[in-house]
């Protein structure tokens, strides 16, 4: 069996983080979204073909030509439009194929279910509003009879989750489908043609489906893994007078310095230092090579790699990128006085985050000077800097 992973997309709704990397390479719980899925399938396939385009070098440099011994090759999507365009260019021998989107995370048991099945099908999930999804219709035998993209009227409630098992015929089928009304090569057209030739089973997922569509979804995704902690794991150093009321993963060369206080679950990546006298709480992920200085409070936040937070700063309900320097005394609001949901500007449109608490979203390579303050739900773009005492409105 071979795997094809669709990872050519840009992920514009995840800006500023997707300005420097494709969406599948955004880190969740210490590793890229793409790796979360590859690590669950690599032992079941003899080759992984990753479809790339936007900032392809980020993916290629990270994974190289193999993952723990399983061969990895790359197929660059050409200028033809559509999620399915690149599949038309792939040549495969007679084999079964696992096809999945590279920007959502699935449980191991759901991958195992579809991989081990002796025939063909897709992972699905029942949804309350089918008009937002590609929806599979079922026949009287429980097999898929058709997939309809965002139906205006109710036809069924089983949403397409973009994980499929086909055989090599799907490649030839894809070469013969016409352009859609949108001028794209659509996966739904290929699936419908495949269904006419083969029984196509639908597998409701048993585990969690984690889709990271907006920056604040990173917090929810991290919380999913943090809440699954069963025990504390310490690979390096905890100094005296550190208090831990929760569970901690402390990777190699990371250190919790004296007086640090931790509540709930926290993940600290390699070579990062916390404290002295720092306060970490909520579901918090600290990246690699980070330095959290004295008297810093961080709650329910995600910090990228090579990011520093200087003394007397407060980081609450925030998502911070790589190579960010936060100078001393940064304070910001994470809650509106009227307690309405926080709205965030995404692609020149205010989007409701459906969160009451959301502090700041900071892109890569940004520097905030001393005593910077921000309103709730503000974005500081990549390569930015603030002035001393600046208020980001």
Encode pLDDT of 48-102 as tens digits. Answer: 999 998 999 999 999 999 999 999 999 887 766 666 667 777 877 888 999 998 8
Contact 193, 106 (CB under 8 A): no
Place of tokens 């099945």: 117
Largest CA distance in the chain: 68
DSSP bridge partners of 219: none
Angle at 216 between CA 301 and CA 330, to 5 degrees: 45
pLDDT of residue 15: 92
CATH code matching the domain that covers 217-392, chosen among 2.160.10.10, 1.10.10.10, 3.20.20.70, 3.40.50.300 = 2.160.10.10
pLDDT of residue 69: 92
DSSP bridge partners of 143: 201
What is the residue extent of each domain of the chain?
2-211, 217-392
Interatomic CA distance for residues 222 and 267, integer angstroms: 9
DSSP bridge partners of 376: none
Encode pLDDT of 138-177 as tens digits. Answer: 887 889 998 988 887 787 889 889 899 998 888 888 887 7
Q: Which residues contact 258 (CB under 8 A, 6 or more apart)?
A: 239, 240, 241, 242, 275, 276, 277
pLDDT of residue 305: 95
Residue 291 bears catalytic tag: no
Interatomic CA distance for residues 8 and 31, integer angstroms: 18
Q: Which helix (H) or strand (E) holds 40?
A: helix 33-41
Q: Does domain 2-211 have CATH number 3.30.470.10?
A: no
Interatomic CA distance for residues 51 and 82, integer angstroms: 12
Interatomic CA distance for residues 393 and 390, integer angstroms: 9
* Closest by Cα among 195, 199, 193, 197 to 177: 193
Kindly state the percentage of the chain with pLDDT values over 70: 96
* Closest by Cα among 54, 3, 34, 23 to 163: 3
- 33-41 helix and 56-63 helix, angle to the nearest 10 degrees: 40
In the set 198, 224, 291, 311, the catalytic residue is: 311
pLDDT of residue 337: 65
* Closest by Cα among 208, 273, 216, 287 to 37: 208
pLDDT of residue 80: 63
Residues in the chain: 393
Residue 189's SS3 state is helix
Interatomic CA distance for residues 216 and 227, integer angstroms: 17
pLDDT of residue 183: 66
Following CA atoms 136, 139, 144, 147 in sequence, which dihedral angle do they give, to the nearest 10 degrees?
A: -40
Q: What is the pLDDT along the chain (393 residues), one digit of tens a residue?
A: 999 999 888 888 889 998 899 999 999 998 999 999 999 999 999 999 999 989 999 999 999 999 999 999 998 877 666 666 677 778 778 889 999 988 899 999 999 999 999 899 999 998 888 887 888 988 878 899 989 888 877 878 898 898 999 988 888 888 877 777 776 777 888 889 899 989 999 999 988 889 898 888 999 999 999 998 888 888 888 999 999 998 899 999 999 999 999 998 999 999 999 999 999 998 999 999 999 999 999 999 999 999 999 999 999 889 999 999 999 988 877 766 666 777 877 877 887 777 767 778 999 999 999 999 887 788 899 899 999 988 888
Place of tokens 């300005």: 19
């Amino acid at each position: 069996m071979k795997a094809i992973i669709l990872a050519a997309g840009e992920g514009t709704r995840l800006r500023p983080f997707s300005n420097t990397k494709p969406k599948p390479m955004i880190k969740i719980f210490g590793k890229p979204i793409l790796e979360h899925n590859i690590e669950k399938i690599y032992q079941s396939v003899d080759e992984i073909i990753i479809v790339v385009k936007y900032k392809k070098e980020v993916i290629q440099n990270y994974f190289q030509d193999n993952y723990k011994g399983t061969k990895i090759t790359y197929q660059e999507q050409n200028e033809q439009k559509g999620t399915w365009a690149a599949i038309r260019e792939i040549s495969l021998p007679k084999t079964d194929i696992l096809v999945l989107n590279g920007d959502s995370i699935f449980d191991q048991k759901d991958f195992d279910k579809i991989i081990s099945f002796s025939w063909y099908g897709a992972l699905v999930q029942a949804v309350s509003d089918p008009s937002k999804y590609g929806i599979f219709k079922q026949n009287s035998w429980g097999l898929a009879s058709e997939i309809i993209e965002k139906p205006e009227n109710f036809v069924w409630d089983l949403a397409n989750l973009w994980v499929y098992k086909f055989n090599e015929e799907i490649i030839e089928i894809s070469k013969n489908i016409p352009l859609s009304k949108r001028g794209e090569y659509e996966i739904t057209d290929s699936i419908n043609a495949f269904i006419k030739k083969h029984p196509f089973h639908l597998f409701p997922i048993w585990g969690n489906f984690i889709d990271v569509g907006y920056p604040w979804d990173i917090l929810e995704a991290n919380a999913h893994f943090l809440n699954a902690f069963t025990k504390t794991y310490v690979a390096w150093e905890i100094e005296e007078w550190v208090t831990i009321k929760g569970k901690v993963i402390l990777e190699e060369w990371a250190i919790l310095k004296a007086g640090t206080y931790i509540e709930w679950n926290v993940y600290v990546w390699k070579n990062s230092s916390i404290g002295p006298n720092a306060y970490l709480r909520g579901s918090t992920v600290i990246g690699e090579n980070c330095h959290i200085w004295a008297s810093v409070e961080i709650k329910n936040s995600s910090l990228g790699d090579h990011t520093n937070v200087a003394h007397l700063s407060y980081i609450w309900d925030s998502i911070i990128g790589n190579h960010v320097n936060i100078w001393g005394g940064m304070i910001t609001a994470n809650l509106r006085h009227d307690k309405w949901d926080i709205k965030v500007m995404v692609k020149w449109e205010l989007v409701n985050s459906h969160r009451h608490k959301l502090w700041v979203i900071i892109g890569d390579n940004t520097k905030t000077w001393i005593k910077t303050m921000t309103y709730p739900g503000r974005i500081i773009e990549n390569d930015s800097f603030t002035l001393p005492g600046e208020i980001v409105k």
